[in-house]
Amino acid sequence: DTGVSQDPRHKITKRGQNVTFRCDPISEHNRLYWYRQTLGQGPEFLTYFQNEAQLEKSRLLSDRFSAERPKGSFSTLEIQRTEQGDSAMYLCASSGTHLYTFGSGTRLTVV
């Protein structure tokens, strides 16, 4: 296992389109997190899963954002009706205990 994988690495989309990002965590990690990072800022927590259960989603930025982890393995983050303000790096991380491992992120550009 080589770490946390995110796909795609880059996504350019037109305003109003829907986008979906995938995250494959480290297999033995039961927790999976999504963060958003805008230019010049630290990552901002969005949501997290313990196995397949989404235990925190109040920090999702709007009802256009949703995340799933159907079988407790990979996760998807969907943004509906994208806006230019959604342009950012979307990071996924997984953890066992204290130790987080981040993926390389998906950079979204909304034009």
Partner 1 sequence: TQLLEQSPQFLSIQEGENLTVYCNSSSVFSSLQWYRQEPGEGPVLLVTVVTGGEVKKLKRLTFQFGDARKDSSLHITAAQPGDTGLYLCAGADQTGANNLFFGTGTRLTVIP
The binding site for partner 1 (CB under 8 A) comprises 4, 31, 33, 35, 40-45, 48, 50, 55-56, 91, 93, 95, 97-105, 107
Select 35 or 86, whichever has its Cβ closest to partner 1. Answer: 35
Q: In terms of residues, how long is the chain?
A: 111
Select 9 or 15, whichever has its Cβ closest to partner 1. Answer: 9
DSSP 62-78: STTEEEE-TTSS-EEEE
Where are the extended beta strands (E) located within 31-105? Answer: 31-37, 44-50, 53-56, 65-68, 75-79, 88-95, 100-102
Name the minimum Å distance from CB 103 to partner 1.
5
Name the minimum Å distance from CB 18 to partner 1.
24
Select 18 or 38, whichever has its Cβ closest to partner 1. Answer: 38
φ/ψ of 75, rounded to 5, equals -135, 155
